[in-house]
């Protein structure tokens, strides 16, 4: 009886571990979800708004970004594949990518639909957004 209980426990761990591993594989193998048409539209608006001039050109927070097109692609990837996401006040949404320390804040009421930057406080900044 003890052997049977042990086998059931081991099988449970193996099956649960395999299922959990299968869910994590999509992130581990580097396959990112493509941005939807709606996400690309938001990324386009943000990348051509104040965020590009302020955070890319003036503050030089994105040395890898060489154009508004590069910025749009970066924003779209963060929105489509955030490590953290939350709804904020006033219909806004925040998306955070921890590996690149990039925040995108979508504001449907703003003319340029939001902003994108790299906060010094990283995830703490994201968690403090209201």
User: What secondary structure does DSSP assign to the chain, as a single string?
Assistant: -HHHHHHHHHHHHHHHHHHHHHHHHHHHTT-PPPPPHHHHHHHHHHHTSHHIIIIIIIS---TT--SHHHHHHHHHHHHHS-SEEEE-STT-EEEEETTTTEEEEE-TTSTT-EEEE--TTTHHHHHH--
Separation CA 80–CA 36 (nearest Å): 7
Q: Over 70: is that where the pLDDT of 6 sits?
A: no
**So where are the chain's domains?**
36-128
Give 46-82 pLDDT, tens digit per residue.
999 999 999 999 999 999 999 999 999 999 999 999 9
Q: Name which CATH class applies to 36-128.
A: alpha beta
The model carries a pTM of 0.76
For residues 7-28, average pLDDT:
37
């Amino acid at each position: 009886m003890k052997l049977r209980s042990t086998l059931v426990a081991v099988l449970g761990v193996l099956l649960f571990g395999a299922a959990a591993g299968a869910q994590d594989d999509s992130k581990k193998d580097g396959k990112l979800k493509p941005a939807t048409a709606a996400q690309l539209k938001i990324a386009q608006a943000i990348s051509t708004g104040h965020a590009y001039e302020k955070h890319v050109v003036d503050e030089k927070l994105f040395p890898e970004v060489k154009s508004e097109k590069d910025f749009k692609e970066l924003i779209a990837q963060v929105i489509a594949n955030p490590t953290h996401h939350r709804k904020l006040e006033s219909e806004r949404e925040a998306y955070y990518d921890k590996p690149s320390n990039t925040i995108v804040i979508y504001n449907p009421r703003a003319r340029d639909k939001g902003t994108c930057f790299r906060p010094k406080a990283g995830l703490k900044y994201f968690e403090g957004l209201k």
